A = this chain, B = another copy of it.
């Protein structure tokens, strides 16, 4: 069955991921959903003259759709989310990025005694052919889901923070064609998503990718009795574990550690053998180094692990 989660069915957007908000949609395992997402500024940065600080005030930023209740989901299960497609919506220029006052890896930190950064907004045309930066530069259109996660039992995590629930991972691998696995910790799973990026470099350096409103199609299946500590991702050629922490090396450690457990539990590797193999063939994607926690994906090509699973 296919559902639509749009402005009307969503009602108020959510600025957190947790167990405290009533579900806006109830689905069965195997259903697909067309999700109408807003951009991280909730569409309020309508021209290059609008200062983000004047329209996006903490904690009311990065609005998410959800929570989506999955029938039968219980703590200890997992959600399998296939990303089917992501389409940009709205009039051109429909993409926005910005330097913000105390945000971004190379800007002044909020704890510094320096002046805030100048707020510079850039709005750009996005089509499925590309993101037009200027007359010389067009970035490829490689859209992905910036924020997606499931509820904890007790905590509601603000929508800017990634952690072991997923959340604001800003990881450019969550693209159409990929499958994300998320832990179920609260009844119904309670899935939230939003914050689509038209493209993004590794690390999301200045803190703001090419942000856009979207229609994002996903399919959600329930995997019973699969305990996940951290989100995982799979695509045609790779398995990837996703860690979020600070400092960044801790996120790398989380992701590789989880990947070793995946190799041991699912593919039958010896723990130390997996450790050795990832030392020689593991790869790391730096998702973000700008959010309250930083996110990396650590992966290995399936060709290495599937030979083992005889």
Listed in ascending order, the chain A residues whose CB lies under 8 Å from chain B are 15-16, 18, 20, 59-60, 97, 99, 104-109, 111-115, 117, 120, 122, 131, 133, 136-137, 139, 152-158, 199-210, 246-250, 252-254, 256-257, 260, 271-272, 275-284, 286, 289, 294, 296, 298, 304, 307-308
A-B contact pairs, 12 of them (CB 8 A): A18-B156, A104-B275, A105-B253, A112-B257, A155-B157, A199-B281, A201-B282, A201-B283, A203-B256, A205-B279, A246-B249, A249-B294
A139 cross-chain contacts in B, Cβ below 8 A: 280-281
Q: Which of B104, B108, B294 contacts A108 (CB 8 A)?
A: B108
This chain's copy number in the assembly:
4
A199 cross-chain contacts in B, Cβ below 8 A: 280-281
A205 and B136 contacting across the interface, CB-CB below 8 Å = no
A254 cross-chain contacts in B, Cβ below 8 A: 111
A136 and B209 contacting across the interface, CB-CB below 8 Å = no
How far is it, in angstroms, between the C-alpha of A246 and the C-alpha of B60 when the chains are bound?
24
A133 cross-chain contacts in B, Cβ below 8 A: 276-277, 280
A304 cross-chain contacts in B, Cβ below 8 A: 137
Tell me how far the C-beta of A145 lies from the nearest C-beta in chain B, rounded to whole angstroms: 17
A307 and B111 contacting across the interface, CB-CB below 8 Å = no
How far is it, in angstroms, between the C-alpha of A68 and the C-alpha of B254 when the chains are bound?
37
Tell me how far the C-beta of A220 lies from the nearest C-beta in chain B, rounded to whole angstroms: 24
Q: What is the chain B residue whose CB lies nearest that of A117?
A: B114
Q: Which of B60, B113, B284 contacts A202 (CB 8 A)?
A: B284
A257 with B106: in contact, given A155-B16, A156-B20, A252-B286 (CB under 8 Å)?
yes
How far is it, in angstroms, between the C-alpha of A291 and the C-alpha of B242 when the chains are bound?
22
B201 and A279 contacting across the interface, CB-CB below 8 Å = yes
Q: Which of A16, A133, A203, A277 is most buried by chain B, counting CB atoms within 10 A of its CB? A: A203
B280 and A59 contacting across the interface, CB-CB below 8 Å = no
Q: Which of B117, B120, B152, B246 contacts A246 (CB 8 A)?
A: B246
Q: A201-B281, A202-B284 are in contact. List 5 more A-B contacts (CB 8 A).
A: A97-B279, A99-B275, A113-B271, A152-B158, A204-B279
How far is it, in angstroms, between the C-alpha of A122 and the C-alpha of B275 when the chains are bound?
12
Tell me how far the C-beta of A1 lies from the nearest C-beta in chain B, rounded to whole angstroms: 31
Q: Which of B16, B200, B307 contacts A154 (CB 8 A)?
A: B16
A250 and B112 contacting across the interface, CB-CB below 8 Å = no
Tell me how far the C-beta of A184 lies from the nearest C-beta in chain B, rounded to whole angstroms: 14
A-B interface, 4 closest residue pairs, ranked by CB to CB distance from nearest: A247-B247, A201-B282, A248-B248, A202-B284
A108 cross-chain contacts in B, Cβ below 8 A: 108, 112, 114
